[in-house]
Amino acid sequence: MTTEEFIQALSERGINLTPEQVNQFEMYYELLVEWNQKINLTAITEKKEVYLKHFYDSLMPLWMMPLDSYDIQLCDVGAGAGFPSIPLKIVKPELKVTIVDSLNKRINFLETLVSELGLSEVNCVHGRAEDVGQNPQYRAQFDLVTARAVAALNILSEFCLPLVKKGGHFLVLKSARAEEEIEQAQKAITVLGAKFEKQASELLPIEKSERNILLIRKTLDTPKKYPRKAGKPAKQPII
């Protein structure tokens, strides 16, 4: 997907990028490639691939599963190189974004990226999701928590749902096999105080690979014991 194809594809979805936003995506790509030579951010570095599989992919929730308001507090867990939160922030500048990642080198990249792109109200937090989820500063503070390609849904739910405020949403970006993960995660979602709400599927343009977006609503307070200590959700997931 070329830059021009990216702009056109978003326009067809009702998202008309300003020249400043187009420039921000260009700078994002350049910084990603530059930093990727120093630290492992992504295996995808070819420009057309980055625009398709990272930038466009991160923005698909805007039309696949739009929420009522985007003037909200968003937390992106395990964002890595900033997906999906930074593309969403570029397109929706009113978002107030917190990014959580366990690797300090990635946080350094994200802080540089946020500064270079001139983005405001973006807070980069270095920490394990399990620890951040028990921190009163972040626990149950977010209207929307996102995660993309981080872990199986039952594990991911324990990482993310404690951060969602009651009435808020957990939005998960997955590729294929989403139905199987939903079934395996039903107990975890319930135990953590939430309900599976809906699923939307679409093919990524050009390569036609499947993308699934899952929406889970927080209905109750998460029990205090969750998330458990760092490492435990992955080793002993709720099943």
pLDDT at 67 over 80: no
Other Cβ atoms within 10 Å of 34 Cβ, number: 11
What proportion of the chain, given as a percentage, has pLDDT over 90?
A: 88
Mean pLDDT, rounded, for 201-227: 94
- Average pLDDT score over the chain: 94
Helical H runs in 42-103?
Answer: 47-50, 57-59, 61-64, 85-91
Mean pLDDT, rounded, for 157-182: 92
* 83 known ligand binder: yes
Mean pLDDT, rounded, for 138-147: 96
Residue type, 40: N
What digits encode the pLDDT tens for the residues 4-60?
Answer: 999 999 999 999 999 999 999 999 999 999 999 999 999 999 999 999 999 999 999
C-alpha 156 chain-centroid distance: 12
End-to-end Cα separation, the chain, in angstroms: 40
pLDDT of residue 18: 98
Element containing residue 166 per DSSP (H, E):
strand 164-174
SS3 14: coil
What digits encode the pLDDT tens for the residues 96-127?
Answer: 999 999 999 999 999 999 999 999 999 999 99
Q: How far apart are CA 15 and CA 62, in angstroms?
A: 9
Contact 134, 227 (CB under 8 A): yes
Evaluate the CA torsion angle 1, 111, 128, 141 in order and state its sign: negative
pLDDT at 76 over 80: yes
Contact 222, 192 (CB under 8 A): yes
Comparison of pLDDT for 239 and 47, the residue scoring more: 47
* 148 known ligand binder: yes
Residue 69 binned pLDDT confidence (cut-offs 50, 70, 90): low
Which residue segments constitute the domains of the chain, with CATH numbers given? 67-235 (3.40.50.150)
The tokens for 71 are 């003037």
Q: How far apart are CA 85 and CA 94, in angstroms?
A: 12
Residue 177 binned pLDDT confidence (cut-offs 50, 70, 90): confident
Q: How far apart are CA 148 and CA 131, in angstroms?
A: 19
Mean pLDDT, rounded, for 182-195: 95
* 78 known ligand binder: yes
Contact 13, 63 (CB under 8 A): yes
Q: How far apart are CA 156 and CA 237, in angstroms?
A: 9
pLDDT at 193 over 90: yes
Residue 72 binned pLDDT confidence (cut-offs 50, 70, 90): confident
| Residues 6+ positions from 46 with CB-CB distance below 8 Å | none
pLDDT of residue 83: 96
Mean pLDDT, rounded, for 134-162: 94
